[in-house]
Structure 1
Amino acid sequence: MSTDLEALARTVRVAARALGRAGLVHAYGHCSARIDAASFLVAPSRPLGLVQPGQACSVVPLDGPLPEGVLPEVRIHREIYRRRPDVGGVARVQAPKTMSLSVLGLTPVARHGFGAYFHPRPPLWDEPLLLRSDPQARQLAEQLGQARAIVMRGNGAVTAGESLQAAVVLAWYLEDAARVELDCLAAGPHTLPTCFTDEQSAVRATWNGRLLERMWDYLTAGDPETSG
């Protein structure tokens, strides 16, 4: 394995464990990082929080069948990478607040800073069954469009970032936006239906000021494969 690919595999493993520590995945979930225009690297097919330092990741081609041993839902990643050359990382999560909101047929509105990254709100994949076919994966990727996340009713969510680090941070932001939305729903008529405007979201949804790096550092602190 080349030095660059080894470094990318380390990032995938660190991201996997970060999602596990943050409670954004449990036994189910996966994450990946783009290698180049023709392939991507996906985390080992096991609970992400249990991925071991140095454990091998799998190279998945954008064309052709999934390699043996790769989880069936990884076809979602493949379809997103095919359609979105701007995407460098994908996270498939089972975040609890996002899940609770999704079974109501809802996704979080951009009511606070983290929600602004998904303005006006993430699309909802309104199908609660497991996604195990290429046609389903294509439809989901098409519905995602240019959004940063798509919520799957009763089945978690998928985030797409310019890097895997961004996809992981966006998964945390999405869960926090779902938390705020559920709190607002619980408050009912006592809560004003305030949300960010288009202009406010465009300004707020920024990575300036090391917002991405600081959250990544927070989520990966203490990981055995982080450096520095």
Structure 2
Amino acid sequence: MCIPDIDETVRMAARALGRNGLAHAYGHCSMRIDADSFMVCAALPMGVIEDQPGTVVPIRGALPQGVLGEVRVHQQIYALRPDVNGICRSMPPALMALSTYGIVPVARHGIGAYFAEGPALWNDPRLLRDDESARNVAQELGAGHAIVLRGNGVVVVGESLEQAVTLTWFLEDAARIERDVRMMGLDPQAGRLDTQETQARQVWAGDVISRMWTWLNRHDRP
């Protein structure tokens, strides 16, 4: 994929996150270009990004001028995970609320099955603006799809940026279910999908990603 196509995909992903309640004034997303670089969205509230170009960032090296400090975590994840080609850093509200108590959603419905073992939890609300903390978060993420940052949102990764955006929406939907179950006073240890049920639902066939990508971009400009 050429740089202009990557730039447009990054802008679309940013708008999808911002305009569907998954991020507010803060957050960012990126897409790998090659083994040495990636493109991150403009340093603006993602929902207002239009034609503002992204910035090419080296996976190893100093951040370019004007790039947000927390983009360091993108660098560290891309360096550790050659399978990752897209990253979303966002602040989904239900997930954020649960995280303040160190709670992450478990698999209770089909969409939650993609996080059957639960996302990782980073038990520190401070911003990730130095290389050491960014590296530690990337290591804690391990081979997973997401790491929830206590009181500070989430980082979600995917084999593509479209998948990372889809998984961000999936995780927030699982968080809404988790929140509602607990608000109803139900036993949080009950009502979980078992191993066979989660394995049966962890599929990407049937245009799972493209359908969610289309939905999240339904209000995007033509």
TM-score band, normalised by the shorter chain?
Answer: over 0.9
**Offset, 1:191:** 6.9
Q: Provide the residue aligned with 1:112 in structure 2.
A: 109
Tell me the SS of whatever aligns to 1:188: coil
**Alpha-carbon spacing, 1:98–1:168, altered in 2? closer, same or farther (3 Å):** same
What secondary structure, in the 3-state scheme, does the structure 1 residue paired with 2:192 have? Answer: coil
Q: Given residue 10 of structure 2, which amino acid in structure 1 is its aligned partner?
A: V
SS in 1 for 2:181: helix
1:48 maps to 2:46: yes
Aligned-pair RMSD on alpha carbons?
Answer: 1.3
**Whole-angstrom distance in 2 between the partners of 1:215 and 1:84:** 24
In structure 1, the partner of 2:75 is 78
TM-score, with structure 2 as normaliser: 0.96
Residue 216 of structure 1 corresponds to 213
Secondary structure in structure 1 of the residue aligned to 2:2: helix
**In the alignment, which residue of structure 2 is the partner of 1:202?**
199
CA apart distance, 1:203: 2.3
- Cα separation, 2, equivalents of 1:72 and 1:221: 31
Range that drifts further, 74-83 or 198-207: 198-207
Q: How many residues align?
A: 222
Equivalent residue, structure 2, for 1:23: 21
User: Which residue does 2:127 correspond to in 1?
Assistant: 130
Residue identity in the other structure for 2:165: V
- Give the 3-state SS of the residue equivalent to 1:208 in structure 2: coil
- How far apart, CA to CA, are the structure 2 residues paired with 1:165 and 1:7? 13
Which of these residues, 91, 99, 103, is aligned with residue 100 of structure 2?
Answer: 103
Partner of 1:67: 64
Show structure 1 runs of 5+ residues with no match. none
Residue identity in the other structure for 1:177: A
Specify the code of the residue in structure 2 equivalent to 1:133: D
Segments ≥4 residues shifted beyond 3 Å: 189-192
Q: Which consecutive residues of structure 2, in runs of 5 or more, have no partner in the other structure? A: none
Question: Residue by residue, what CA displacement relative to the aligned partner does 1:160-205 show, whole Å, maximum 9, x if unpaired?
Answer: 0111101111110110000000111112246771212233222211
- Distance change >3 Å, CA 191–CA 92, structure 1 → 2: closer
Aligned to 2:10: 12
Aligned counterparts of 1:190 and 1:5: Cα–Cα separation in 2:
50
AA aligned to 1:186 is M
Which of 167, 172, 175 is the equivalent residue of 1:175?
Answer: 172
- Partner amino acid for 1:26? H
Cα distance in 2 for residues equivalent to 1:219 and 1:39: 26
